[in-house]
């Protein structure tokens, strides 16, 4: 499994670099991504624990409205509403048989949200939500087939790139990258979720992987864009440190989607208190670190994205 993900894809990655519309645009300018989707779905009426991905088919108008707000806020890139769109994740909601339909609809909705604007649709593959053998019950081949089905659906529907996001281990990231490449994704993004250590001296994934180590692995795997998203305590400042670490290893483009500050639990509800203005104040440091695509993760909203847009426009003026 690892051999396929860290050797053969190198040649494929070189071919993708020559043909990807997204990578070509990153040679010209910094792009703005979007923000959180889950909290926006909940505000639109998704019940706790509900299958937000199924809304791509059952309530496409609500998903479209969310993504239109991000476009209106200035997003150049939209990530599809397919984070939990693998067959394994959808099985928990009784929707496994709709995996292809749900993922294809996610791309279609994101593309429609741009309207007449030119924009990039990034097909989202999140964690499969379990543990691989020998620590868990899932075989690597089982996860590969689920990710491959999802990736093929996203690519066939016209995604400009596929992101394997919120990853904490080499094994699952490798499976996701292999699936995206086999599906013919024009561009493959690997995004790790780091946690701030207890002594607040560094960030590592839940499996103990540092940004430098992750970048070294992604180089070998032929990942086109190295990314960071989410993670416990990872705000804009920590995302900048991850990007700096990536840059020390490789010249590949980078993407950062930090949370809107540190979460707080208030009345059994997770609250992110960092305002759009506060988050945007830290953005110059992230850009100076070398981020090529910037956006937000947990707690971020169209208002946060709009503040990012204003600052990017000022820097480019």
Say what percent of the chain tops pLDDT 70: 94
What value does the mean pLDDT of the chain take? 93
Question: Are 190 and 215 a contacting pair, CB within 8 Å?
Answer: no
Determine whether domain 2-316 maps to CATH 3.20.20.330.
yes
Please tell me the pTM assigned to this model: 0.93
Domain boundaries, the chain: 2-316
Q: What is d(CA 80, CA 57) in angstroms, rounded to the nearest whole number?
A: 13
> Checking phi first, is residue 27 left (phi over 0); if not, alpha (psi -120 to 50) or beta?
alpha
Question: Are 276 and 301 a contacting pair, CB within 8 Å?
Answer: yes
Which pLDDT band, with edges at 50, 70 and 90, does 4 fall under? very low
Residues 6+ apart with CB under 8 A from 95: 51, 53, 54, 102
Please classify residue 33 by burial: count the beta carbons closer than 10 Å to its beta carbon, then call 0-12 exposed, 13-18 middle and 19+ buried: buried
**What are the pLDDT digits (tens) for 171-229?**
999 999 999 999 999 999 999 999 999 999 999 999 999 999 999 999 999 999 999 99
Stronger pLDDT, 273 or 90, i.e. the higher one: 90
DSSP state of 189: E
State the pLDDT at residue 263: 81
Which pLDDT band, with edges at 50, 70 and 90, does 268 fall under? confident
């Amino acid at each position: 499994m690892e051999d396929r993900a860290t050797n053969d894809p190198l040649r494929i990655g070189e071919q993708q670099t020559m043909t990807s519309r997204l990578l070509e645009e990153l040679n010209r300018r910094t792009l703005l991504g979007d923000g959180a989707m889950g909290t926006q779905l909940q505000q639109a009426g998704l019940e706790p624990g509900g299958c937000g991905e199924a809304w791509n088919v059952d309530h496409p108008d609500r998903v479209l409205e969310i993504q239109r707000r991000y476009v209106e806020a200035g997003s150049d890139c939209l990530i599809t509403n397919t984070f939990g769109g693998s067959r394994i994740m959808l099985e928990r909601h009784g929707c496994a048989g709709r995996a292809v339909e749900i993922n294809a609809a996610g791309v279609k909705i994101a593309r429609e949200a741009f309207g007449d604007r030119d924009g990039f649709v990034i097909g989202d593959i999140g964690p499969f939500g379990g543990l691989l053998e020998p620590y868990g019950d899932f075989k690597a081949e089982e996860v590969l087939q689920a990710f491959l089905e999802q990736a093929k659906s996203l690519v066939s529907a016209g995604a400009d790139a596929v992101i394997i996001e919120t990853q904490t281990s080499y094994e699952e990231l490798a499976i996701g990258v292999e699936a995206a490449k086999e599906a013919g994704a024009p561009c493959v993004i690997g995004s790790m979720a780091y946690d701030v250590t207890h002594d607040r001296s560094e960030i590592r994934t839940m499996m103990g992987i540092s940004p430098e180590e992750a970048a070294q692995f992604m180089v070998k795997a032929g990942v086109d864009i190295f990314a960071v998203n989410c993670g416990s305590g990872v705000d804009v400042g920590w995302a900048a440190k991850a990007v700096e670490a990536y840059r020390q290893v490789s010249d590949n483009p980078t993407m950062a989607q930090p949370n809107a500050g540190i979460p707080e639990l208030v009345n059994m509800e997770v609250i992110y208190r960092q305002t759009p203005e506060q988050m945007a104040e830290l953005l110059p440091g992230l850009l100076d670190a070398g981020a090529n695509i910037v956006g937000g993760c947990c707690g971020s909203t169209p208002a946060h994205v709009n503040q990012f847009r204003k600052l990017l426009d000022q820097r480019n003026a």
